[in-house]
Amino acid sequence: MDIHEHQSKDILAGFGMPVPRGGIAFTPEQAAFRCRELGGGPCVVKAQVHSGGRGEAGGVKVCRSEAEVREAAQRLLGTTLVTKQTGAGGRQIHRLWIEEVSDIARELYLGFVLDRTSERIMIVASAHGGMEIEDLAEDDPESLVRMVIDPAVGLAEYQARELAFKLGLGGTQTAQMVTALRACYRAYRDLDATMVEINPLVVTGDGRLVALDAKMSFDTNALFRRPEVAALRDPGQEDPRESAARDNGLSYVGLDGDIGCIINGAGLAMATMDMIELAGGAPANFLDIGGGASPERVCTAFRTVLSDPKVSVILVNIFAGINRCDWIAEGVVQAFREVGVRVPVIVRLAGTNVEAGRRIIETSGLPIHSADTLASAADAAVRARPQTAAA
Domain ranges of the chain: 1-19+103-238, 21-101, 240-390
Q: What is the pLDDT of residues 122-141, one digit of tens each?
A: 999 998 887 677 777 777 77
Q: Are strands 209-211 and 193-204 parallel, antiparallel or unpaired?
A: antiparallel
**For residue 93, which of 107, 82, 109, 108 has the smallest C-alpha distance?**
82
pLDDT of the residue at 81: 92
Bridge partners of residue 90, in order along the sequence: none
Taking a C-beta distance cutoff of 8 angstroms, is the pair 288, 251 a contact? yes
Is the peptide bond preceding residue 200 cis, with omega within 30 degrees of 0?
yes
53 in a known ligand binding site: yes
192 in a known ligand binding site: no
User: Please, which residues have CB within 8 angstroms of residue 277's CB and are 6 or more apart in sequence?
Assistant: 283
- pTM for this prediction: 0.77
Q: What is the pLDDT of residues 272-287, one digit of tens each?
A: 999 999 999 999 999 8
Pick the CATH number of 240-390 from 3.40.50.261, 1.10.3720.10, 3.30.2000.20, 3.40.605.10: 3.40.50.261
215 in a known ligand binding site: no
Number of Cβ within a 10 Å radius of residue 226: 17
pLDDT of the residue at 292: 62
3-state secondary structure of 71: helix
**CATH architecture observed for domain 1-19+103-238:** 2-Layer Sandwich (3.30)
Whether residue 391 has pLDDT greater than 80: no
Q: What is the pLDDT of residues 78-106, one digit of tens each?
A: 999 998 888 777 889 999 999 999 999 99
157 in a known ligand binding site: no
Q: Distance between CA 383 and CA 116 in Å, rounded?
A: 39
Active site residues: 109, 197
Q: What is the pLDDT of residues 33-62, one digit of tens each?
A: 999 999 988 999 999 999 888 888 899 999
- Across the chain, mean pLDDT equals 89
Q: What is the band of 210 on the pLDDT scale with cuts at 50, 70, 90?
A: very high
99 in a known ligand binding site: yes
pLDDT of the residue at 387: 54
User: Please, which residues have CB within 8 angstroms of residue 212's CB and are 6 or more apart in sequence?
Assistant: 20, 102, 104, 107, 198, 200, 201, 202
Whether residue 241 has pLDDT greater than 90: no
CATH class of 21-101: alpha beta
User: Please, which residues have CB within 8 angstroms of residue 387's CB and are 6 or more apart in sequence?
Assistant: none
pLDDT average, residue stretch 188-212:
94
Three state DSSP letters for 5-40:
HHHHHHHHHHCCCCCCCEEEECCHHHHHHHHHHCCC
Q: What is the pLDDT of residues 141-184, one digit of tens each?
A: 777 899 999 988 999 999 999 999 999 998 889 999 999 999 99
Whether residue 291 has pLDDT greater than 70: no
Most confident listed range (125-134, 182-191, 260-269): 182-191
Percentage of residues in the chain having pLDDT higher than 70: 97
Q: What is the pLDDT of residues 310-350, one digit of tens each?
A: 999 999 998 887 778 888 888 888 888 888 888 999 999 88
pLDDT of the residue at 340: 81
Q: Angle, nearest 10°, between helix axes 266-278 and 374-384? A: 60
Q: Distance between CA 387 and CA 35 in Å, rounded?
A: 56
pLDDT of the residue at 323: 74
